Amino acid sequence: MAKHPVQFRLNGSDRATFVDGAENLLNTLRRGLGDFAPKYGCGQGTCGVCTVLVDGEPHLSCLTLAVACEGRHVETASGMADGPDFHPLQAAFMDHFAAQCGFCTPGMLTAARALLAKNPNPTRDEVVEAISGNICRCTGYEPIIAAILAAAGSSGARRA
């Protein structure tokens, strides 16, 4: 079967590759473009480890057709650090021990990044909602919630 060409901006750089027709974006990122930040967890949409931003909004790359990203902006956790400098969310995740095995971390960071871009001063409930599609089997979520609130410089006490 013919391969389909696809081009999009990945973490600020133009990238082009060929994909199988129904290939999902996660495979394209990992196998085609060598970006290993998004992970393959369930392939069903339930775990959130494959979360990426498409035009700034969180999407599950395991359920996204690669060809549907033609011309769009795709961002993964790989693009968050600025050279040696961590993104404030990454620094807060370290400070709060918000990663244990780390498997959920790229998805959590991406979900949190989308939240803070829209809502720089979220409540605790808003943080919980923002990561509600992301499963963590290690931390019990509390350190992740604390890290996101800390990165926002927020006590989480503001009322919605």
Ligand X SMILES: Cc1cc2nc3c(=O)[nH]c(=O)nc-3n(C[C@H](O)[C@H](O)[C@H](O)COP(=O)(O)OP(=O)(O)OC[C@H]3O[C@@H](n4cnc5c(N)ncnc54)[C@H](O)[C@@H]3O)c2cc1C
Phi and psi dihedrals of 18, rounded to 5?
A: -115, 140
> According to the binding rule CB under 6 A, does residue 49 interact with ligand FES?
yes
Is residue 64 close enough to count as binding another protein by CB under 8 A?
Answer: yes
**Cα distance between residue 13 and residue 129, in whole Å:** 31
Q: Annotate 75-133 with DSSP letters as a single string.
A: E-GGGSSBTTBPPHHHHHHHHTT--SS-SSHHHHHHHHHHHHHH-SS--HHHHHHHTTT
Rounded to 10 deg, the angle between the 88-95 and 105-118 helix axes is 130
Q: Between 7 and 46, whose beta carbon lies closer to ligand X?
A: 46
Among 67, 91, 128, 138, binds ligand FES (CB under 6 A): 138
- Binding to ligand X (CB under 6 A): which residues in 90-129? none
CA 78 from chain centre, in angstroms, equals 9
**CA–CA separation, 38 vs 120, rounded Å?**
24
Q: Is 45 in the site for ligand X (CB under 6 A)?
A: yes
Contacts with ligand FES in 74-103 (CB under 6 A)?
Answer: 99-103
Residue 156 binds which one of another protein, ligand X, ligand FES, none, with CB within 5 to 8 A depending on kind? none
Is residue 46 involved in binding ligand X (CB under 6 A)? yes
Considering only the C-alpha atoms of the chain, give the largest distance between any 2 of them, rounded to a whole number of Å.
55
Q: Which residues bind ligand X (CB under 6 A)?
A: 45-46
Q: Which residues bind ligand FES (CB under 6 A)?
A: 40-43, 45-50, 60, 62, 99-104, 136-139
Q: Which residues bind another protein (CB under 8 A)?
A: 1-2, 4, 21-22, 24, 43-45, 48, 51, 54, 57-60, 62-65, 67-68, 111, 114-115, 128-134
